[in-house]
Amino acid sequence: MTYTADPGTTIGHTHLKVSDLDRAIAFYRDVIGLELQQTFGDQAAFMSAGGYHHHIGLNTWHSRGGPRPAENATGLFHVAFLYPTRKALAQAVRNVLDMGVSLTGAADHGVSLALYLDDPDGNGIELYWDRAPEDWPRDANGNLSMGNRRLDLDALLAEA
């Protein structure tokens, strides 16, 4: 028998190993827009949107001063931040670009618009907005038809 998770299950917070805690706090505060909720000495920080205890935990427990992971190493591909509206996504991306951070990719997946970047430690980040489920593209059998179409970045940024 195969176990199926309860449909109310969600993915909670993410903890990232970083090499420089102050640099990581500044990035997630100034570029991503999270608020610092608490620190654990000089080894960890907990950050969130809207006062939640933490969406992102940053720690140097095993990584202080460590190198960026090799591109072909196993580990986190990216952590994703879901924005409630297309406009909120546009505003977030505008801030990323205004802070001088380069995007590593952008796509219209049909079900969502997604933009990609890396934090200073090479952890991948996805900023995305989901279309309403009734607007998701489906094939003739009703299966999702996701893709990697070109995202019109200028049109998105015009909403910021």
The domain spanning residue 22 has which CATH number? Answer: 3.10.180.10
In this prediction, residue 122 has a pLDDT band, given cuts at 50, 70 and 90, of very high
Is there a domain that residue 6 lies in?
no
Q: What are phi and psi of 70, to 5 degrees?
A: -65, 150
Predicted pLDDT at 77: 92
Is there a domain that residue 111 lies in?
yes
Model confidence pLDDT, tens digit, residues 5-23 = 999 988 889 999 999 999 9
Q: Are residues 136 and 84 in the same domain?
A: yes
Is there a domain that residue 69 lies in?
no
Q: Are residues 103 and 135 in the same domain?
A: yes
Predicted pLDDT at 63: 96
Is there a domain that residue 122 lies in?
yes
Q: Are residues 45 and 118 in the same domain?
A: no
Q: Are residues 39 and 98 in the same domain?
A: no
Its domain, for residue 56, covers: 11-64
Model confidence pLDDT, tens digit, residues 25-53 = 999 999 999 999 999 999 999 999 999 99
Is there a domain that residue 3 lies in?
no
Q: Are residues 113 and 34 in the same domain?
A: no
The answer to whether residue 54 scores a pLDDT higher than 90 is: yes
The answer to whether residue 107 scores a pLDDT higher than 90 is: yes
Q: Are residues 55 and 82 in the same domain?
A: no
Predicted pLDDT at 10: 85
Report field, pTM of the whole predicted structure over 0.85: yes
Q: Are 37 and 48 in contact (CB under 8 A)?
A: yes
Average pLDDT over residues 89-96: 97
Q: Are residues 99 and 160 in the same domain?
A: yes
Q: Are residues 46 and 96 in the same domain?
A: no
Q: Are residues 52 and 88 in the same domain?
A: no
Predicted pLDDT at 100: 98
